[in-house]
Amino acid sequence: MNKLYFGSNLKMYKTVADTVAYLRELAQRTADIDRKEVQLFILPSYTALESAAANTDQACIKLGAQNMCWEDQGQFTGEISPVMLEEFGIRFVMIGHSERRHVFGEADTEENKKVRHALKHSFTTLLCIGETAEEKEFGISTEVLRTQLKIGLYGVDVKDAANLWVAYEPVWSIGVNGIPASVDYAESMHYEIKKCLREIFGEAADEIPVLYGGSVNLGNANDLIVQPSVDGLYVGRAAWQAEQFERLIRNAKAAYEEKRKTAD
Ligand code: PGA
């Protein structure tokens, strides 16, 4: 994969004004980075999406929603549908973030309904997967990831693989109490994920970017991005200040280019 992916989920942190200011600064700071080489993306809160879209060139920073419902409309109090996202010019959604699964109790079967519906709308669809600390302890990480992929992507047509992204975010590595995965561990899980995607989609799987997330920071980003099965970095806390995120992206890109040069 020639393009590197860098993105951030803003979770429930920034207000509308904060989000717009952040996006403006990030766009400005990264303006010179070739978007053929780097896909930059940000997922603001629902309430900030309209203003974010009105103030952002999505050719430079792709905007997405942090979740959505599996129906266009109906008796789903508190939910947001793809039709509503499209109204704001949003055609990208994340499904199954660890906090959706573990704080709000979403199951793989629900993620599957959402993934299929997002793809039906031709949204870029980012499915997040990851094992808990307990599952890792039991030595079933690969089985868990395979289950999340096989159920989450059940019934997805191979032609829709082009709109699919996957993020590997081990639950134990996410957030303030998270421990970043070692580079070797992350690479081995990414390898298994890519293998499973190939089983599901055949050659079309080679176009699905697999991103690593969970306590990515300035100290580990370079080592992660140079791994053969890591196509991008999905960053939380270390991305929420534009200046810091810019630095992380530039450093990681340089490390990746250096590695390619030595490999040639
Ligand atoms: P973190 O969050 O980088 O703050 O650990 C990652 C995520 O939830 O995507």
pLDDT per residue over 177-197, tens digit each? 999 999 999 999 999 999 999
Banded model confidence at residue 262, pLDDT cuts 50, 70, 90: confident
Counting residues of the chain whose pLDDT is more than 90, the rounded percentage is 97
Q: Is the CB of 213 under 6 A from ligand 1?
A: yes
Q: Is the CB of 175 under 6 A from ligand 1?
A: yes
| Res 263 pLDDT > 90 | no
Selecting among 169, 187, 192, 246, the annotated active-site residue is 169
pLDDT digits (tens, 9 = 90+) for 202-250: 999 999 999 999 999 999 999 999 999 999 999 999 999 999 999 999 9
Banded model confidence at residue 1, pLDDT cuts 50, 70, 90: low
CA distance 96 to 102: 9
Judge contact between 196 and 166, C-beta under 8 A: no
pLDDT digits (tens, 9 = 90+) for 3-57: 999 999 999 999 999 999 999 999 999 999 999 999 999 999 999 999 999 999 9
Burial of 53 (0-12, 13-18, 19+ CB in 10 A): middle
Q: Is the CB of 221 under 6 A from ligand 1?
A: no
Counting residues of the chain whose pLDDT is more than 70, the rounded percentage is 100
What is the CA(211)–ligand 1 centre distance, in A? 12
Helix axes 141-152, 183-201, angle to 10 degrees: 40
Average pLDDT in the 55-71 region? 98
